Structure 1
Amino acid sequence: MAKIVALHYFAVVTRCSSLRDAASQLDIHPNVLARHISQLEYYMDAPLLERGPLGIRLTAAGELLAAKLDRTINELDHVVRLIDDLKGLRGGVVGVHAAEGIASAILVPVLAGFASRHPHVRTRLRTGTAKDAMRAIEDASCDLALTFFAPPSDAVTVVQRIWLPQFIVAPPDHPVTRTGGAALPALAGYRWVLPGPDFGARTFFDRVAAEAGCRIVPTFEASSLDLQRTLVAQAGALAVLPRAAVAEELAAGTMAAVPFPEAMPVETSLDLCVPADRQPSFAAERLRRDLETALKRLRA
């Protein structure tokens, strides 16, 4: 246990400029921290830090340990959750990584129901690109990922994939909502807000538009769903989103969802991903089942 504590402390040290700063973050005395680092150096049989007048610096051995440390600690935390399962405990933490475009619309209702049935389980939710999601599963910092166009990875298994049609999301009085307003020649002349090119949904949209002979250059690039919705409402931009991402706005009549023309069908794969070779905790397995049920309802 002392070695595990020392590893946690060293992980904090790698993000600080001095032992005193790290000790302050950990809320322990600097001498206590120094003792743990010395014990870790003794165990590794190598110096991990160089101390100087300008602060601390990682040695080559320290750099090597730091590079592997996050995954090591995440794996240890995962083992602790599995041990809790063996003891009959049903608490712990489930890490979930989601594409922001579906996090609030699809994932949050599932998490709300899950929390009511398992009040002792905490959920750590992060958002980002599909590549971010794959890295999070690979380094064991999350248990599940719900993302668009999951890139292939030997460490990740896609357990469920559905195809979601995307719509042109617009202010209700935008010309695109009128007859003929969504024709291919008209689309290129509008103001658009799209996620950046790092997002699989953007890459797919650009390809489909090019194949249809429609060149769309976004006025705004924003990965945040909130920013996209704000730019639709206040700047009159058009966004490309599933209806579920703006369900409240559609119900209130503050936004409209217009189908793309038949010559330019836009849909994205929504993938539920899990680690390929890591045993899930009780809580992670239950949340996975809830998500699978929710996705089946979407597909129906």
Structure 2
Amino acid sequence: MAKIVALHYFAVVTRCTSLRDAATQLDIHPNVLARHISQLEYYMNAPLIERSPLGIRLTAAGELLAAKLDRTINELDHVVRLIDDLKGLRGGLVGVHAAEGVASAILVPVLAAFAIRHPHVRARLRTGTAKDAVRAIEDASCDLALTFFAPASDAIAVIRRVRLPQFIIAPPDHPVTRAGGTACAALERYRWVLPGPEFGVRSYIERAAAEAGCRIVPTFEAASLDLQRTLIEQAGALGVLPRAAVAEEIAAGTMVAVPFPETMPVETSLDLCIPAARQPSYAAERLRRDLEGALARVQP
């Protein structure tokens, strides 16, 4: 147990510039932290950090340990959850990684109902790209991922895939809502807000536009869904999102969802992914079933 505690402490040290800063984050005395690091160095038979008046830096051995540490700790946490399951403790933690465009529309309602039925289960939520989701599954920091265009990986299994059309999301009085407003020449003139090129959805939009002989250049790049909404409302920009992502705004009349022209269909793949080889915990298995049910009910 002492070695596990020392590993947790070292993980914090790797993100700090001094032992004092790390000790403050851990809420322990710096001497206690230094003792744990010394014990870990003794166990590894190698120095892990170098101290100087300017702070600390990792040695080559420390860099090597740090590179493997997050995944090791996540795997240990996963084993703890499985042991709790064996003891009949229906609690624990489930990690979920989601594309922000569907997190609030699909994931949050499922989690809200899940929390009522399983009040002792905690959920750790992360958002990001499809590549981020795969990495999170690979390093065991999440149990489930809901993402667009999951890349091929031996570490994940796609257990549910739904086709989800993307719409042009616009203010209600925008020219794109009028007759001829979605013609290619018109689309090229508008202001757009799109996620960065690291997102699969962005690549798909650009490819679909190019195949239709159209070039869409974003005026704004924003990964945050809240920023995209704000730029649509206040800057008159056009976004590209599933209708469900702005369902409340559409119902309130502050935004409209305009279909892309038939010559430029933008339809994405929404994938529910799990680890290919890691045994799911009780909480992860129950949440997976709930998400599968929600995806079966998704309306384009």
| TM-score where L is the length of structure 2 | 0.98
What secondary structure, in the 3-state scheme, does the structure 1 residue paired with 2:280 have? Answer: coil
Aligned to 1:9: 9
The 10-residue stretch of structure 1 (51-60 or 237-246) with the greater mean CA deviation from structure 2? 51-60
Q: CA deviation at 1:52?
A: 2.3
Q: Does 1:213 align with 2:213?
A: yes
Partner SS state of residue 96, structure 2? strand
Q: Which amino acid aligns with 1:291?
A: L
Whole-Å separation in 2 of the counterparts to 1:51 and 1:187: 58
Residue in structure 2 matched with residue 243 of structure 1 by the alignment: 243
The more displaced of 29-38 and 109-118 is 29-38
Alpha-carbon distance in structure 2 between the residues aligned to 1:75 and 1:299: 36
Bigger drift between 177-186 and 82-91 goes to 177-186
Q: Distance in 2 between matches of 1:175 and 1:18?
A: 56
Provide the secondary structure at the position in 2 that maps to 1:142: coil
Percent identity over the alignment is 84
Letter in 2 for 1:34: A
Aligned residue type for 1:105: A
Q: Within the alignment, does 1:33 sit opposite 2:33 as a pair?
A: yes
**Deviation at residue 59 of structure 1 after TM alignment:** 1.4
Please name the residue that 2:263 is paired with.
263
Provide the secondary structure at the position in 2 that maps to 1:5.
Answer: helix
Alpha-carbon contact 1:162-1:299 (below 8 Å) kept: no
- Give 1:273-292 correspondences, 5 Å limit: 273-292=273-292
Alignment partners' CA distance in 1, 2:118 and 2:168: 38
Which residue identity does 2:271 align to in structure 1?
D
1:165-196: CA deviation from partner (whole Å, max 9, x where unpaired): 11111111111111221122221111111111
Write the distance in 2 (CA, Å) between the matches of 1:190 and 1:53: 55
Q: Give secondary structure in 1 for the equivalent of 2:189.
A: coil
Equivalent residue number for residue 179 of structure 1? 179
- Give 1:34 deviation, angstroms: 1.4
Q: Partner of 1:92 in structure 2?
A: 92
Separation of aligned partners in 2, 1:266 and 1:44: 53
Cα distance between partner residues in 2 of 1:51 and 1:180: 67
CA deviation string 1:41-99 (max 9, x = no partner): 11111111222222222111111111100000000000000000001001111110101
| Structure 2 match to 1:254 | 254
Within 1, Cα distance between the matches of 2:192 and 2:204? 16
Output the CA distance in 1 between the equivalents of 2:278 and 2:202.
Answer: 31
Measured after TM superposition, the shift of residue 32 of structure 1 is 1.2
Distance (Å, rounded) in 2 between the aligned partners of 1:25 and 1:34? 14
Q: Which moved more, 1:1-10 or 1:27-36?
A: 27-36
SS of aligned partner of 2:154: coil
Kept after mapping to 2: 8 A contact 1:105/1:245: yes
Distance 2:189 2:58 in 1: 54
Which amino acid counterpart does residue 97 of structure 1 have in structure 2? H
2:128 — aligned with what? Answer: 128
Distance 1:247 1:54 in 2: 52
Distance 1:127 1:110 in 2: 16
Aligned to 2:149: 149
Q: Secondary structure at the match of 2:269?
A: strand
Secondary structure at the aligned position of 1:150 is classed as coil
Report SS of the residue matched to 2:105.
Answer: helix
1:8-33 per-residue CA deviation (whole Å, 9 max, x = no partner) reads 01111111122222111111111211
Query: Which AA in structure 1 matches 2:41?
Result: E
Q: Secondary structure at the match of 1:272?
A: strand
Q: For 2:14 and 2:101, how far apart are their aligned partners in 1?
A: 33
For this pair of structures, how many residues does the alignment match?
300
**Paired residues of 1:163 and 1:299 also in contact (CA < 8 A):** no
The answer for unaligned runs of 5 or more in structure 1 is: none
**Structure 2: 5+ residue runs without aligned partners?**
none
Residue matched to 1:165:
165
Partner residue in 2 for 1:115 = 115
- RMSD (CA atoms): 1.1
Is 1:201 aligned to 2:190, yes or no?
no
Superposition deviation, residue 299 in structure 1 = 5.6
